[in-house]
Chains A and B, each alone.
Chain A
Amino acid sequence: MKFEEAMEKLQKITQELEQENLPLEESLQKFEEGMKLASFCEKKLEEVEKKIQILVKEGDTLRLKEWKEDLSTEE
């Protein structure tokens, strides 16, 4: 699942819970699902590692190389 989808689902669940007329069972189910989605999103935010690479074509093949440009020294 994509972050965006999870976020949308989470918002939908929150809205449904807000309407208040759900039976307890369903309410608890939704709550649990919402909390799971929130954790999923949080994990998703941290899962990518910072990496800057440069895409080069050598002959017919594409290769990723580490890019050495250091931004902090330029500023």
Chain B
Amino acid sequence: MRNSHIYTVNEITSYIKNLVEEDENLQDIWVRGEISNFKSPSRHLYFALKDEESLLSCIMFQDRVDTLKFTLENGLEVVARGNIGIYKPQGRYQLYVEEIFPVGRGYLYLAFEQLKKELERKGYFRPEHKLHLPYLPQRIGIVTSPKGAAIRDILTILDKRFSNLEIVLSPCRVQGEGASEEIAQAIQNLNDYGKVDVIIVGRGGGSLEDLFPFNERVVAEAIYNSHIPIISAVGHEIDVTISDFVADERAPTPSAAAERVVPKKIDLISNLKDCKQKLLHLIHTHLNSLRSDLERIKASSPFKQPYRRIQDLKQKTDDFRRRINSLKEKLEQEKRMLINLEESKLEKNKERILSWKERLRNLSPLSTLKRGYSICLSHPEGKIIRDYKQVKEGERVKVKLYKGGIYSQVYQIEKEENGEI
């Protein structure tokens, strides 16, 4: 190779490709590492094998994938067999995996599980340790990278919901070596500063390795020891970190954390307006009901005719008096009737005696004569003649009258039997 020669990109890439792919040490080899950045956008699988210092890109083609006896996932410690090759379009070397076997659980997962168990035992996740997030924070602390996507997302959401807020960013790196210590320090700084009401701790999405600082003990302890409420918002919805467990609340994403931390100002304002209107309405209805009560009372008779009641009472007494009088009268009447009855009884008796006398008088023949009857007697025998047979024509009779009498001679006899009077 000469220094003066100018290669094309393809020439040099092809040269390296040949170099690598013809090296027997790089063909049909076994590599041990932890799976990360696992993706399967097509039927092929893309991932990386990593250990604490290095990362090796891997690809597994569909025909090889079909032979897999288990599902690949991030954090899985595996041994893979394959060939190192160069992918020219990206100038990248990678392991073309033929087969793959799991080896226990991946280191990072193990570390995560172990720390989680320990902290849980120590009571770091207990609900009684959780602080309440303020309803409307005056000042919001944010622990994240000033250059990351998280701060932009958070600020955008906060600005939309509540345009006038005070925000204090406590900056730190959120991935790589030493990031966990920086995160812990940033949380501590905000606590020392002391004037924020709530802290958002988080970062945007990334690989398991990227998110790992939020799984470390220093961060867990800083969150646990914070006396300002903390909401943890690391990665995407599916990412769960130790910080999520220790924090007072967990949000699926930084944006969601921002939404959780601040209510919408517009909602608060309309809420307040509603409250005011309700108060006004309530006091109006109360006053109106009192007013109509008052009107009713004013219109009621005791107010309209104040003497009415007295008059009513007077009328009542008059009624009573009248009733008493009428009762008195009735009594008097009864009394009178009783007396009358006595008197009439006496009268009747008198009358009765009188009538008896009269009757007696009427029974005497004299009284009959007085009424115009007369008695015919034979003469001179003086027998009362009751029958025409007792006399004969030419005989003499005496007719006795009421006053005096007449002597007379029978000149004709009537045989008709006319009976008595």
Closest residue of chain A to B143 (Cβ to Cβ) is A55
Contacts of B168 in A (CB 8 A): 53-55, 64
Q: Is B189 a contact partner of A55 (Cβ separation < 8 A)?
A: yes
Partner-contacting stretch, out of B116-124, B233-241, B252-260, B267-275: B267-275
Q: Is B156 a contact partner of A75 (Cβ separation < 8 A)?
A: yes
Q: Is B193 engaged at the interface, CB distance under 8 Å to the other chain?
A: yes
Contacts of B276 in A (CB 8 A): 34-35, 38
Most A-side CB within 10 Å, residue of B136, B139, B165, B279: B279
Known: A45-B268, A49-B164. A4 touches B135 (CB 8 A): yes
Contacts of B152 in A (CB 8 A): 71, 74
Distance in angstroms between the alpha carbons of A69 and B167 in the assembled complex: 12
One digit per residue, 1 when the CB lies within 8 angstroms of any chain B CB and 0 when it does not, for chain A 1-29 equals 01110010011011001101010100110
Distance in angstroms between the alpha carbons of A35 and B286 in the assembled complex: 16
Distance in angstroms between the alpha carbons of A64 and B139 in the assembled complex: 13
Q: Is A62 a contact partner of B192 (Cβ separation < 8 A)?
A: yes
Distance in angstroms between the alpha carbons of A10 and B135 in the assembled complex: 15
One digit per residue, 1 when the CB lies within 8 angstroms of any chain A CB and 0 when it does not, for chain B 151-193 equals 1100110010001111111110000000000000110011011
Q: Is B283 a contact partner of A31 (Cβ separation < 8 A)?
A: yes
Distance in angstroms between the alpha carbons of A73 and B153 in the assembled complex: 14
Q: Is B91 engaged at the interface, CB distance under 8 Å to the other chain?
A: no
Whole-angstrom distance from the CB of A15 to the nearest CB of chain B?
Answer: 10
Whole-angstrom distance from the CB of B280 to the nearest CB of chain A?
Answer: 8
Q: Is B272 a contact partner of A42 (Cβ separation < 8 A)?
A: yes
Q: Is B278 engaged at the interface, CB distance under 8 Å to the other chain?
A: yes
Q: Is A3 a contact partner of B135 (Cβ separation < 8 A)?
A: yes
Known: A45-B268, A62-B189, A71-B155. A52 touches B169 (CB 8 A): yes
Closest residue of chain A to B135 (Cβ to Cβ) is A4
Known: A4-B135, A45-B265, A71-B152. A55 touches B169 (CB 8 A): yes
Q: Which of B169, B193, B282, B286 contacts A67 (CB under 8 A)?
A: B169
By the criterion of a CB under 8 Å from any partner CB, how many residues of chain A are at the interface? 41
Q: Which of B156, B171, B279 contacts A34 (CB under 8 A)?
A: B279
Whole-angstrom distance from the CB of A17 to the nearest CB of chain B?
Answer: 4
Q: Is B279 a contact partner of A50 (Cβ separation < 8 A)?
A: no
Distance in angstroms between the alpha carbons of A71 and B157 in the assembled complex: 11
Contacts of B166 in A (CB 8 A): 48-53
Q: Is A24 a contact partner of B156 (Cβ separation < 8 A)?
A: no
Contacts of B151 in A (CB 8 A): 69
Q: Which of A3, A54, A57 contacts B169 (CB under 8 A)?
A: A54
Q: Is B275 a contact partner of A14 (Cβ separation < 8 A)?
A: yes
Whole-angstrom distance from the CB of B42 to the nearest CB of chain A?
Answer: 33
Closest residue of chain B to A64 (Cβ to Cβ) is B168
Within 8 A of B (CB), among A30-63: 31, 34-35, 38, 41-42, 44-46, 48-57, 62
Q: Is A55 a contact partner of B193 (Cβ separation < 8 A)?
A: yes
Q: Is A14 a contact partner of B279 (Cβ separation < 8 A)?
A: yes
Q: Is A38 a contact partner of B272 (Cβ separation < 8 A)?
A: yes
Contacts of A10 in B (CB 8 A): 272, 275
Q: Which of A17, A24, A41, A74 contacts B290 (CB under 8 A)?
A: A24
Q: Is B365 engaged at the interface, CB distance under 8 Å to the other chain?
A: no
Closest residue of chain B to A60 (Cβ to Cβ) is B192
Residue numbers of B with Cβ under 8 A of A are 134-136, 138-139, 141, 146, 151-152, 155-156, 159, 163-171, 185-186, 189-190, 192-193, 265, 268-269, 271-272, 275-276, 278-279, 282-283, 286-287, 290
Pairs A–B under 8 Å by Cβ, sample size 9: A34-B276, A34-B279, A38-B275, A42-B269, A42-B272, A46-B164, A50-B163, A55-B169, A71-B159
Having A10-B275, A17-B286, one finds 13 other A-B pairs with CB under 8 Å, namely A4-B134, A7-B271, A24-B290, A28-B283, A38-B272, A45-B268, A45-B269, A53-B168, A54-B171, A55-B171, A55-B189, A57-B189, A69-B151
Residue numbers of A with Cβ under 8 A of B are 2-4, 7, 10-11, 13-14, 17-18, 20, 22, 24, 27-28, 31, 34-35, 38, 41-42, 44-46, 48-57, 62, 64, 67, 69, 71, 74-75
Q: Which 5 A-B pairs have the closest CB atoms?
A: A4-B135, A31-B283, A17-B282, A3-B136, A34-B279
